[in-house]
Each structure stands twice: as structure tokens, then as C-alpha cells.
């Protein structure tokens, strides 16, 4: 696949300047050891950073110390979009990135953002860690990125300031904040609500002032953003569960021997367990905290009505993602 976004000379100069100004300990070879770098925009104790550090530990172990990976967390190497571009250029060796911005470079990965794609989390991870998941990772071929593994990013659900939401009918008339994505807008509007694209940093005040009635996200984000303080009704329906992706620079990957490539891939896949455990723990802590603070959790046991309501989304995007939808989902959509 051809990279959709051409990186201009000006952009290359700017990004390289950021890289060199930010840190001096980049890819280094000395005394039989090669030091590589991994970009992570989340804090040190966040599940994806924990997963990245486990990946680094396993790489060093599997290569008998010949390779060391330094994890730069907290966006030290630039925001996610810039870091992805630097990884394409080979200035950064590895990156953990969210699925949504990656669709700019790989259309096919966008299928993972389709609503109610999986029956449950067990099915989802059986797929993502199996043959289908590996084939999806391989769709990064031609983007100067190499897909290594998927990391957990939880399930997104709706929360609002007005009322408990149990069915799609309850969504009607609500103004729901969404990411600036055509798919995100289509999902919310298929449920009868009004989609309002908005920067994440504006959501709290907009909920507080009534500019919007609700938003959608996973439990940890709902908690750490303090949105639970101004939006008490959280509907647990897990309508979307796009994962994170651990990626390598094609340039870095091509410099590895075949045995080392296998070791890095094994390390990435084995790190998933630690990352998912960290995510599960953070989710549980977040869930308990918002409940104690007075949030009302509306558990949706049967999502069949919700799945029927988003059929128009599958009608619209079905042709684009038909192969992957068929392989990833056991449902007749």
C-alpha cells in the first residue's frame, strides 16, 4: 500500500529538529549492543507504556542483551502524529499508536473502529492475536511501518448528563461529542443522536455548560478526565473497541537479521499479556472510583437493539471493509 501522506522536505527538517533537540540518546551501537528507541505518548504508569517496557525487556532477554530499547513516554519525542512520521523516516525505531490516526497511513486498519465488530472481548482477542490479526498487521506493508502487535485500549461507551440510556431510543435528541472522524459521526447519528466533533480538551467545560449532553470513551478516560464529575450516567455497552498498535520502522526492521526479527515479533506478542493485565487493573480502579463518586452505571446485557441500529454504518462502509468484517466477526451484519 502506498503511504497516503507525503512528508514534505520542510516537514522532514522540522521533525528532525524536534527529534534532535529532544534527546541525544538515540539509536546507538557500542560494545556489541545496539540501543533503539520507542515513542510512547502516555505517562510512565499507563498500560501501553507498561506494555512497551515489557516488550523492551523481552527483546533484551531474547537477544541476549545485544539489543536494548529505551522507552520515551509522555510524548517526549513529539505528539503521536509526528512520532509516527518520524518512525516512517527511521528516526524513531518503534512506536505505540492509536488505530484512529493510523488510518491516515493505512485505510484497512480502520475496520477495527467499526461498531459492535466483535461479540465480546474474548472473541476480539482470539482474532487479534491469531491469523486474522497478523494479516491485519501485515496491511502496513508499503507504509514504511511494520505491524508487530495489538495492545488493549478497552471498550468505548456513552455517558451523558441528562438521563440513563438503556436503548438506542434513549439516545434521540442528545448532543454527543465525537472525534473528528466521519465514521464516529455516522455511528452516533445512526443511533438518533446529534454528533458534535470537538477537541478532547473542550469536553469537560462543554458538558458542564450544556454545550453538549454527552460523550463516549472507555472507563479510564472517563475517570482520569474527571468527566464523571459533570456527566453521571455511563452506559456500559462497549460499542467500539479499536486497539492500539505496536509498530516498527521499516528501516529499523530491515536492518535486523531474520532471527532477530523473529525474536522482536515474539517479544511484541508476548508483551500483550502484561499490557492487557495492566489495562484490566486500571479499568477496575476507574470503575470503582467513578461509582464511589456517584456515577450511575447502566449495564447493557443484550446489545442486539444497538447492533441493529448501526446497520446503516455497515451498509455505508461494508464494501470498503467487507473482507475484514467477514473474517473478524461471527455476526451476520
The count of C-alpha atoms lying within 13 angstroms of the C-alpha of 1, restricted to the half-sphere facing its C-beta, is: 20
For residues 175 and 211, what is the distance between their CA atoms, to the nearest angstrom?
A: 8
Strand partners, 298: 235
3-state SS class at 30: strand
Q: Are 238 and 306 in contact (CB under 8 A)?
A: no
Give the per-residue pLDDT at 100: 81
Measured CA to CA, the distance from residue 107 to residue 140 in angstroms comes to: 9
Q: What is the pLDDT of residue 27?
A: 62
Per-residue pLDDT, 331? 45
Condensed to tens digits (0 to 9), the pLDDT of residues 191-211 reads 999 999 999 999 999 999 999
User: What CA–CA distance (Å, rounded) separates 303 from 238?
Assistant: 9
pTM > 0.85: yes or no: yes
Task: Write down all domains in the chain, each with its CATH number in brackets.
Answer: 34-329 (3.40.190.170)
Q: Which of 333, 323, 331 is nearest to 132 (CA)?
A: 323
Q: State residue 32's pLDDT score.
A: 81
pLDDT at 30: 66
d(CA 263, CA 271): 12
Q: Give pLDDT < 50 ranges for the chain.
A: 1-15, 17-18, 20-25, 331-333
Q: How far apart are CA 179 and CA 195, in angstroms?
A: 9
Instruction: Please give the pLDDT value at position 143.
Output: 97
- The per-residue pLDDT for 180 is 85
Amino acid at each position: 500500500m502506498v503511504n497516503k501522506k507525503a512528508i514534505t522536505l520542510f516537514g522532514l527538517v522540522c521533525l528532525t529538529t524536534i527529534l534532535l533537540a529532544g534527546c541525544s540518546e538515540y539509536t546507538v551501537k557500542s560494545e556489541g549492543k545496539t540501543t533503539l528507541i520507542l515513542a510512547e505518548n502516555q505517562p510512565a504508569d499507563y498500560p501501553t507504556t507498561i506494555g512497551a517496557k515489557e516488550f523492551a525487556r523481552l527483546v533484551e532477554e531474547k537477544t541476549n542483551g545485544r539489543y536494548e530499547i529505551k522507552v520515551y513516554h509522555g510524548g517526549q519525542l513529539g505528539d503521536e502524529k509526528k512520532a509516527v512520521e518520524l518512525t516512517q523516516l527511521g528516526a524513531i525505531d518503534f512506536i505505540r499508536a492509536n488505530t484512529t490516526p493510523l488510518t491516515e497511513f493505512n485505510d484497512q486498519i480502520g475496520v477495527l473502529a467499526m461498531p459492535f465488530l466483535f461479540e465480546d472481548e474474548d472473541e476480539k482477542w482470539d482474532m487479534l492475536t491469531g491469523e486474522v490479526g497478523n494479516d491485519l498487521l501485515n496491511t502496513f506493508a508499503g507504509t514504511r511501518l511494520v505491524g508487530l502487535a495489538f495492545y488493549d485500549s478497552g471498550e468505548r461507551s456513552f455517558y451523558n448528563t441528562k438521563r440513563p440510556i438503556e436503548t438506542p431510543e434513549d439516545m434521540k435528541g442528545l448532543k454527543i461529542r465525537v472525534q473528528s472522524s466521519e465514521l464516529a459521526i455516522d455511528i452516533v447519528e445512526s443511533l438518533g443522536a446529534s454528533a458534535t466533533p470537538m477537541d478532547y480538551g473542550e469536553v469537560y467545560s462543554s458538558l458542564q455548560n450544556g454545550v453538549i449532553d454527552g460523550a463516549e470513551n472507555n472507563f479510564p478516560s472517563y475517570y482520569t478526565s474527571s468527566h464523571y464529575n459533570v456527566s453521571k450516567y455511563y452506559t456500559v455497552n462497549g460499542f467500539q473497541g479499536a486497539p492500539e498498535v505496536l509498530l516498527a520502522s521499516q528501516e529499523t526492521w530491515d536492518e535486523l537479521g531474520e532471527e532477530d526479527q523473529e525474536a522482536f515479533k515474539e517479544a511484541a506478542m508476548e508483551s500483550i499479556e502484561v499490557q492487557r493485565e495492566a489495562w484490566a487493573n486500571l479499568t477496575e480502579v476507574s470503575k470503582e472510583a467513578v461509582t464511589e463518586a456517584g456515577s450511575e452505571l447502566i449495564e447493557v446485557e443484550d446489545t442486539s437493539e444497538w447492533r441493529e441500529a448501526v446497520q446503516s454504518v455497515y451498509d455505508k462502509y461494508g464494501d470498503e471493509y467487507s473482507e475484514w468484517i467477514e473474517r473478524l466477526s461471527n455476526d451476520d451484519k
